[in-house]
C-alpha cells in the first residue's frame, strides 16, 4: 500500500486503495498499487511499445500543474502515440484525455506550461550525441487549455520544427521577452536554437559560442533555464574536461551574445551526463539550482566520495557552489530536482537499489532527500523511498515538473519500470521526509 497520502485519514486511504485494487480498470486508466505487499506509490498505464526509459531523459520534464490538476505527457500503448493524461487524485489514476501529441513511438519530450500555453518539445531519442542522426526532426507542439472542458487542443500551425536531428535529450524554456529557447548536444558540441518573431518560427541552430561548449564526450548533455527575470542559462556536461559549465544570455540581446561561461563544478571525474536544472519562477534574485551526478564511481573513488551533487548559483557573484546529496556507497543515479517556493526547500529524487551497489545506474527504488535552500545540507544515506515495485525492483528515470511546488500543488513525481513496462507515480505532501 502507498506509504504517503495527501488525504487527512490514512485509514480512509487504505480502504479506498483496497477497493480500487480489486476493481476492474476501464481502458485509459492506471491502476493504483496496493495489491502487493511492500509496494510504495501507484502503478500507472502501460509503456509497451515506447522503448526503454519511457520517463527519460534526465533534464526533461513530463509533468505540469494547471487549473488545480496534475497533467502528464505519456505514451498510449493502444494507439502507439503520445497523449495528454490527467491525474485524478481521489483515485490516483491517470486518465487519457485523448489529446494526441507526437504520433511517433520512442520519442521523448520536454513540457513547459507558461500559464497561458502548453509547449511540448518532442525529439527522436538517440543513445548519445554521437549517435544523433539527420532527418529526425524535433517537433514543438503548442496547445491551448479550455477550463470549461478541462481539455487541451493543438493550436493551428503546430507542430513546427526546432531542429532536424535526433538527440539524447532536449529541453526548452521561455524568456522574459516571450522567446522560446531549446538546447541539446549534437556530435561533440552544445547546440542552441530560439524562436524569432513568434512561437512558430525558429532560427537556424547554432553552437553555443562560449568556452567548453565543444570537444564533448559522446554522452554529454545540456539543459536550458529562464531565471532572474531577465536571464536565460544553459548548463552542460563536458566529461572530456571533467567539468560542468553554465553560460548566460541577457533576454533581448542578439541570440549569439552570451557571457563567458562559468565553471559550475570541475575536478577529476566530477562530470557525468546527469543534469536537472531548475530556477524559482518568481525569484528575481537570480538563484539557480542543479542536481547532477559525478563520475567518481568510475574512477574507483572511496565509497564516501560524493556521487550526487546539488549545485547552487550565487546571485551576487554568479559563482557556483556544490553540496553532496548522495555518496558512492548509496548507489544513486539520475537525480531530479523540485523547488518548494513556499517553504524554500529543495527536494531531490533519485534511483538506487534498496541495498548494495551492483553498479551506479542500477534500477531499483526511487528515493527522496530534502534540504533548506538557505543552508544547504542533505542527510546521509539513501533517503526516503517514495516509489517501490516490490515484485520487480526496476524503477528508474524519475521525472516531474519545471514549476515550483507549493502546499496547493503537493509533489507528483513519475518513474517507469522497463521490466514490467509500466509507469509509476508518487503523490507527496510538502514536508515529506
Q: What's the pLDDT score for residue 433?
A: 63
Residue range of the domain that includes 207: 10-428
Q: In this predicted model, what pLDDT tens digit does every residue of 155-199 receive, in sequence order?
A: 999 999 999 999 999 999 999 999 999 999 999 999 999 999 999
How would DSSP label each residue in 234-266?
EEEEETTTTEEEEEEEETTS-TT--PPPEEEEE
pLDDT band at 15 (very low <50, low <70, confident <90, very high): very low
C-beta atoms surrounding 344 within 10 Å? 12
Q: What's the pLDDT score for residue 24?
A: 40
Residue 5 lies in a domain: no
State residue 246 phi and psi, 5-degree precision: -140, 125
Q: What's the pLDDT score for residue 36?
A: 79
Residue 74 lies in a domain: yes
pTM for the structure as a whole: 0.92
Residue 11 has pLDDT above 50, yes or no: no
Q: Single out the residue of 323, 304, 428, 429 nearest to residue 372, CA to CA.
A: 323
Residue 297 lies in a domain: yes
Q: How many domains is the chain partitioned into structurally?
A: 1
Residue 348 lies in a domain: yes
Q: What's the pLDDT score for residue 279?
A: 98
CATH of the domain at 164: 2.120.10.10
Residue 2 lies in a domain: no
Amino acid at each position: 500500500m502507498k506509504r504517503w497520502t495527501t488525504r487527512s485519514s490514512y485509514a480512509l486511504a487504505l480502504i479506498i486503495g483496497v477497493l480500487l485494487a480489486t476493481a476492474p480498470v476501464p481502458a485509459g486508466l492506471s491502476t493504483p498499487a496496493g495489491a502487493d505487499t511492500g509496494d510504495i506509490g501507484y502503478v500507472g498505464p502501460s509503456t509497451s511499445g515506447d522503448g526503454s526509459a519511457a520517463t527519460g531523459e534526465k533534464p526533461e520534464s513530463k509533468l505540469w500543474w494547471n487549473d488545480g490538476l496534475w497533467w502528464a505527457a505519456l505514451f498510449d500503448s493502444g494507439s502507439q502515440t503520445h497523449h495528454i493524461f490527467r491525474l485524478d487524485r481521489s483515485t490516483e489514476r491517470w486518465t487519457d484525455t485523448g489529446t494526441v501529441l507526437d504520433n511517433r513511438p520512442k520519442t521523448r519530450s520536454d513540457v513547459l506550461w507558461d500559464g497561458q500555453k502548453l509547449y511540448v518539445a518532442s525529439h527522436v531519442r538517440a543513445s548519445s550525441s554521437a549517435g544523433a542522426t539527420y532527418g529526425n526532426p524535433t517537433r514543438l507542439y503548442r496547445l491551448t487549455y479550455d477550463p470549461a472542458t478541462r481539455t487541451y487542443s493543438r493550436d493551428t500551425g503546430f507542430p513546427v520544427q526546432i531542429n532536424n536531428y535526433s538527440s539524447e535529450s532536449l529541453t526548452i524554456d521561455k524568456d522574459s521577452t516571450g522567446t522560446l529557447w531549446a538546447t541539446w548536444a549534437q556530435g561533440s558540441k552544445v547546440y542552441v536554437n530560439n524562436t524569432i518573431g513568434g512561437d512558430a518560427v525558429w532560427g537556424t541552430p547554432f553552437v553555443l559560442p562560449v568556452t567548453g561548449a565543444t570537444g564533448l564526450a559522446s554522452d554529454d548533455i545540456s539543459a536550458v533555464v529562464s531565471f532572474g527575470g531577465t536571464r536565460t542559462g544553459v548548463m552542460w556536461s563536458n566529461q572530456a574536461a571533467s567539468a560542468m559549465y553554465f553560460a548566460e544570455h541577457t533576454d533581448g540581446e542578439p541570440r549569439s551574445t552570451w557571457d563567458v561561461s562559468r565553471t559550475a563544478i570541475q575536478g577529476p571525474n566530477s562530470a557525468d551526463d546527469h543534469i536537472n536544472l531548475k530556477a524559482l519562477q518568481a525569484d528575481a534574485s537570480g538563484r539557480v539550482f542543479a542536481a547532477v551526478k559525478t563520475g567518481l564511481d568510475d574512477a574507483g573513488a572511496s565509497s564516501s566520495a560524493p556521487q550526487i551533487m546539488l549545485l547552487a548559483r550565487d546571485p551576487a557573484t554568479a559563482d557556483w557552489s556544490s553540496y553532496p546529496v548522495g555518496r558512492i556507497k548509496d548507489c544513486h543515479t539520475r537525480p531530479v530536482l523540485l523547488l518548494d517556493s513556499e517553504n524554500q526547500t529543495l527536494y531531490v529524487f533519485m534511483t538506487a537499489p534498496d541495498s548494495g551497489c551492483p553498479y551506479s545506474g542500477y534500477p531499483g527504488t526511487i528515493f527522496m532527500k530534502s534540504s533548506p535552500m538557505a543552508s544547504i545540507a542533505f542527510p546521509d544515506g539513501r533517503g526516503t523511498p517514495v516509489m517501490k515495485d516490490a515484485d520487480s525492483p526496476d524503477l528508474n528515470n524519475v521525472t516531474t515538473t519545471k514549476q515550483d511546488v507549493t502546499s496547493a500543488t503537493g509533489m507528483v513525481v513519475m518513474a517507469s519500470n522497463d521490466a514490467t513496462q509500466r509507469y509509476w507515480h508518487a503523490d507527496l505532501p510538502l514536508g515529506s521526509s
